Amino acid sequence: MVVSVQVEGLNAFLEAVDKNKGKTVFALFTGSIGADGKSWCPDCVEADPVVEECVKGAPDDAVFITCFVGDRATWKDPKNEFRMHDKVKLTSVPTLMRWGTPARLKE
C-alpha cells in the first residue's frame, strides 16, 4: 500500500525524502491550504482529485509526499527556495514528480 505523507516547506520535504531512501518516492508540490480550507492555487485544487486517483495505481512500496510550497506571495517570490534548490527547481504548481528522475508533470 502506498504511504502518504504531507509536509510544509522545503526542509520538511527533504527530510521526508531522506527518511524514505531506497523507496520509490512521488512528490506533489502544491499551494498551501488557507484559512478557508482550500489551496490558493486553482490549478492545484483542480489537479488534486486526479492525482489522488492516480496514486492508487502506484507501486505498493511507493511513498507519496504532498508538499505545500507556502502561500501565494511566498510562491511568487522569484527567490523562493523551491525555485532555487538544485534538485527541485520548480517552475510551477502543481508539479508532480518521481523523485530522483527527470519525470515531471507540471500544471
Element (H, E) at 6: strand 3-8
Q: How many Cβ atoms sit within 10 Å of the Cβ of residue 98? A: 15
* Residue among 87, 5, 75 nearest 40 (CA): 75
Give the active site residue among 10, 44, 62, 96.
44
Residue 96: strand pairing partners = 28, 105
41: annotated active-site residue: yes
44: annotated active-site residue: yes
Give the active site residue among 10, 17, 41, 96.
41
Q: What is the 3-state secondary structure (H, E, C) of 78-106?
A: CCCHHHHCCCCCCCCCCEEEECCCCCEEE
Grid cell for residue 26? 512521488
Where in the sequence numbering do the catalytic residues fall?
41, 44
